[in-house]
Structure 1
Amino acid sequence: MSAPGRSAQDGPVRPALAPLLPAADIADATEAFHRAAPSARRWDVESSIAWEVADAGRLTDGQASAVQFITLIEDHLPGYIGVYERAFPLNEDVDLDTFLHNRELYHFTIRWGFEEDTHARALFRYQVASGLADPVSLRRELAMEGRKPFELPHDHAVSLLAYALVQEKATQIYYQQLRAVVGDPVLADVLGYLARDEARHFAFLADVVERYLRVYGDAVVEPIREVVANFRMPLADTIRGYWRWALRIADTARYDHTDAYGHLIRIVNHAVDARTDRVDELVRFVDACRSTTAGAAS
């Protein structure tokens, strides 16, 4: 799931601004990501879930609404992939070093896209198998949203990756908390698989952002700060009634994207040995954003 969409008049995302990590760093992070998903732990929509006993009648109205909401978010994957294709292009218009970086990142992106598309398919299948929706109507509903443009208001490579880091961790946390309260064990199984994938996606992004901080230090502090200052979840500007719906799903199972900020602070603390004023300010700022939201919610 990803900050508010750039409006149509802003135009398409440009190739991501430097600095870029050395291709070898991206390759190391990508290899670690793939090693973290051995074939024995992989799952698929067709054979890993007992769809025949799925029953939406065991869900509360709030839980059913949450499933409908996250299906819309996950199904917008072509829009998310499009952002990365434009930000990290693989064509003759980029110099060789940039192509090397982007090609190594693509080894993650293509696997991430496959897994996120599996999430969308699993949630679609659950809605149909459980009686929550009929397939024809659900496809049309998803297509209505899927046709809407999606962009991110970030230009730097590290901004795009830091945004995805916060979003993936926030999504993982919500899926875990929703899983703990849902009434249908089949949906609980689906959410368990989704949360496990999101945790691995976060681990990759945390590795990459940590490498950025180690290599570039103060030079990447402001792009990361910008992500936190302006963060909103994907499709916040396109789904009709988004905020009302988001509040409802948060009532069903606690959801607050700032729950992910503590993980970002740990990444910064782990990456930076010699703290600078700019890094200290970033940590204070992220912590203040988290504390402000927590105080407002209490």
Structure 2
Amino acid sequence: MGITDTACALLPVDEVVGAVDGFLAASPAARAWDVETAFEWGRADAGLLTEGQRSAVQFITLIEDHLPGYFDVYHRYFPVDDTVDPSTFVHNRELYHFTVRWALEEDTHARALARYQEAAGMAERGALRTELAVEGQRPFDLPYDHPVQFFAYALVQEKATQMYYQHLRDVSGDPVLGAVLSHLARDEARHFSFMADVVGRYLRTHGDAVVDPIRDVVAHFRMPLADTMRGYWRWALKIADVADYDHTEAYEHLVKVIDRAVDTRTDRVDELVRFIDQCRKVA
């Protein structure tokens, strides 16, 4: 598959290297955490949560556990095989250094949330695996054809996820769940920083040429699994009430990225910022 027909729209490989090196330097392996030892699982108690908070944990576990589908998107659109020319391969291979680290961390999130459900008495492990497989087998894709769109989408999604985890942590009745959510939120914040860095580099490198692709992401934005999970919107509204969640809060961070990347706004960039602000106000 790959984005071979828009290879000219890719970032120069040195820009990718700069973003990836910066992320990895800020995320040394020595600072990583693991599911087995980072939390006092014996103290986990779902009885300390409201029904809404338990529902929120179930929801975000399903979302995080779809990691194989998310990772597959990067593999298909930024392939590291003989379906792309050598220069595109080099670009994708450098990006792969980030995506494998990102995937490891996101998979750890899925495992931590599943472990919490088991330890807190919310679910039996075998039954939970079966439940997660129902959504996990559903396909996931992003309808984009410009490379910047994958990073602009993830910028909003990662920041929105980080903010929700922080909100849910702040109202959680179980300190163990609070600790889990703090770890997840910190990871999502770093993932957002990488995506923001890449989007900023696209804006500085390609200027107005990436305005319309970014606008399209905002215009049709949906959080992961919104179009495939049965009952998604009803469930999403329920968990939003639990922890004051609105994904459009992340849009202001996209505007900040644009402002940092663009010294002098062009008419098209001005229009993009106005559009983003309008989407936030409407929501």
TM range (shorter): over 0.9
Aligned to 2:68: 78
Question: AA paired with 2:84?
Answer: V
Q: 1:47, CA displacement in angstroms?
A: 0.6
Instruction: Deviation per CA, 1:52-111: give whole Å up to 9, x if none.
Output: 110000000000000000000000000001111000001112111111110111000000
Q: What RMSD, in angstroms, separates the aligned Cα atoms of the two structures?
A: 1.0
Deviation at 1:274, TM superposition (A): 2.5
Separation (CA, whole Å) in 2 of partners of 1:243 and 1:281: 30
User: How far does the alpha carbon of each residue in 1:229-248 deviate from its partner, in whole angstroms, 9 at most, with x for none?
Assistant: 00010101111110000000
Residue 3 of structure 2 corresponds to: 15
Shift of 1:15: 2.8
- Alignment match, 1:51: 41
Structure 2 equivalent of residue 176 of structure 1: 166
1:207 aligns with 2:206: no
**1:243-262 residue pairs with structure 2 within 5 A?**
243-262=233-252
1:89 and 2:88 correspond: no
User: What do residues 211-259 of structure 1 show as CA deviations (whole Å, max 9, x unaligned)?
Assistant: 0000000000000000000001010111111000000000000111100
The one of 79, 95, 102 aligned to 2:92: 102
Aligned residue type for 1:62: G
Partner letter of residue 207 of structure 2? G
What are the Cα deviations for residues 2-31 of structure 1, in whole angstroms up to 9, with x where unaligned? Answer: xxxxxxxxxxx6436340001111111111
Give, in whole Å, the separation in 2 of the partners of 1:204 and 1:235: 22
| Number of residue-to-residue matches in the alignment | 281
The answer to whether the 8 Å contact 1:62/1:252 transfers is yes
1:40 CA drift (Å): 4.6
In the alignment, is the contact (CA less than 8 A) between 2:56 and 2:242 conserved in 1?
Answer: yes
1:219 equivalent among 209, 213, 225? 209
For the pair 1:123 / 2:113, whether they are aligned, the reply is: yes
Instruction: After the TM superposition, list the runs of 4 or more consecutive aligned residues in structure 1 that deviate by more than 6 angstroms.
Output: none
Q: CA deviation at 1:38?
A: 3.3
- The equivalent residue for 2:229 is 239
The structural deviation recorded for 1:35 is 1.3
**SS class of match (1:204):** helix
Counterpart in the other structure of 1:186: 176
Where 2:250 maps in the other structure, the secondary structure is helix
Describe the SS at the equivalent of 1:180. helix
* Structure-2 separation of matches of 1:231 and 1:93: 29
* Partner Cα separation in structure 2 for residue 158 and residue 37 of structure 1: 23
Task: Give 1:39 deviation, angstroms.
Answer: 4.1
Q: Is the contact between residue 14 and residue 155 of structure 1 (CA under 8 Å) also seen in structure 2?
A: no
Residue aligned with 2:173, SS = coil
Distance, in Å, in 2 between the alignment partners of 1:261 and 1:82 is 26
TM-score w.r.t. structure 1 length?
0.92
Q: CA deviation at 1:42?
A: 1.9
Question: What amino acid sits opposite 2:189 in the alignment?
Answer: A
- Gaps in structure 1 of 5+ consecutive residues: 1-12, 294-298
Q: Does 1:114 align with 2:104?
A: yes
Task: Pick one of 258, 266, 282 that aligns with 2:256.
Answer: 266
Structure 1 position 37, deviation (Å): 1.8
Normalised by the length of structure 2, the TM-score is 0.97
Amino acid at match of 1:204: F
Greater RCO (CA < 8 Å, at least 6 residues apart): 1
Tell me the distance in 2 between the aligned counterparts of 1:41 and 1:103. Answer: 24
Match of 2:154 in 1: 164
Q: Which residue of 2 aligns with 1:292?
A: 282
Equivalent position amino acid for 2:71 in 1: I
